[in-house]
């Protein structure tokens, strides 16, 4: 998010406007990043906010690595449903409830790197071509 903040500071006329806009953007990034509402539970009209969000890719890359487990030694949690209580491995719960796939971890990492490079390129372009000084 540092890259996004640097871009906003370089493209906007003063730091107060950049702080206000970064507060709004960070709120949207956190709201639609998958922390509070997982991607399978989002309304169809708001899915574009999830996919156009660099936080969602970083969150998916980190949690898929953290909660991946194979074999009989995997921790399990109790899941309540209409059929009753079932013991589900945590990695299965993460893939079914959050929609996170362990096999996509490198794709998500590359997407986060692309977001960072994109913000850096936009920052350098705005520093080169945007001028808010009036003489």
Contact present, 39 and 98 (Cβ < 8 Å): yes
Enter the pTM of the model: 0.82
Give the single-character DSSP code of 12.
Answer: S
Residue 16: CB atoms within 10 A of its CB come to 9
What are 111-126's pLDDT values in tens digits? 999 999 999 999 999 9
Report d(CA 82, CA 122) in Å as an integer. Answer: 50
What are 92-117's pLDDT values in tens digits? 888 888 888 889 999 999 999 999 99
């Amino acid at each position: 998010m540092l890259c996004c903040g640097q871009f906003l500071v370089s493209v906007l006329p003063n730091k107060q406007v950049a702080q206000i806009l970064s507060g709004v953007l960070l709120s949207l990034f956190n709201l639609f990043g998958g922390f509070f509402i997982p991607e399978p539970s989002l309304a169809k009209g708001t899915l574009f906010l999830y996919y156009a969000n660099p936080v969602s890719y970083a969150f998916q890359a980190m949690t898929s690595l953290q909660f991946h487990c194979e074999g009989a030694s995997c921790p399990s949690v109790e899941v309540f449903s209409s059929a009753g209580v079932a013991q589900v491995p945590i990695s299965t719960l993460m893939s079914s409830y959050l929609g996170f796939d362990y096999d996509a971890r490198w794709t998500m990492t590359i997407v986060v790197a692309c977001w960072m490079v994109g913000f850096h390129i936009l920052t350098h372009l705005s520093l080169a071509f945007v001028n808010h000084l009036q003489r």
